[in-house]
Amino acid sequence: MTTSRKQEEPEGLRLQVYLAHSGIASRRNAEAIILAGRVSVNGQVVTAMGTKVFPGDTVTLDGIRVEVEKDKRYVLLHKPAGYVTSQSDEKGRAVAADLLKGEYPERLYSVGRLDMFSSGALIFTNDGDFAAKVGHPSAGIEKEYVVEASLPFSDEVIRAFQAGIRIDSVFYRCESIQRLSSRRMRIVLVEGKNREIRRVLDHFGIRVKRLARVRIGSVSLGSLESGRNRPLTEAEIKGLLAQADKQED
């Protein structure tokens, strides 16, 4: 009697999980990559989410073989302004992930995003489970920013951002906001919608001169210089996961 492959190889991984463990992208982004027809298993293009990968299978992305990485990396980068956080850029702009090449052999991708014109803390990893947990808006992890503006911040701006304000059908509200000087503020977000701080300030006619993210949860940028990176500590990794798990309970 012939034994089924599933019985022989019970350790098969769903394709999106395999890609996440290979440092390609988070599981959610890996699903989009699969649906786009960019992934092949044993020479066959696969677009079904339920597909499993077993030991001995060959998986390729855009024709390049990818394999599960055994070593997990968790890196904090001080992203300079002017770098995009996507893995590549069709417009030829500088890519933040390239600042890590040469130091880490694994393919690392960012947990969340930081817009091109902002600088500061950005976490990279090849751990898809970690990225999915920590990067999801429901994780409730604080992001702290220091903002320098072209004009003084009025009390109206502070009150509106704290209470919540709807702009073009999108609701924005910060967790906290503190005046550092007439034109500098410390702002803490939790969900962090796309370009949230810039959109709120622009609504009040205030142009952002500099925007830097100085903290993600318990991970602080500290004295890390622009363009430099450091590994996250075990305590920082556990702290971020604990915060995300707490929100799920």
Catalytic residues: 115
Beta bridge partners of 246: none
Decide: 207 and 235 in contact? Cβ < 8 Å.
no
CA distances from 150 to 139, 196, 208, 210 (A): 33, 17, 6, 9
One DSSP character per residue, the chain reads -PPPHHHH-TT-EEHHHHHHHTTS--HHHHHHHHHTT-EEETTEE---TT-EE-TT--EEETTEEE---SS--EEEEEEPTT-B-SS--TT---BGGGGGTTT-SS--EESS---TT-EEEEEEES-HHHHHHHHSGGG---EEEEEEESSPPPHHHHHHHHH-EEETTEEE--SEEEEEETTEEEEEESS--TTHHHHHHHHTT--EEEEEEEEETTEE-TTPPTT-EEEPPHHHHHHHHHHHHHHH-
d(CA 78, CA 230): 9
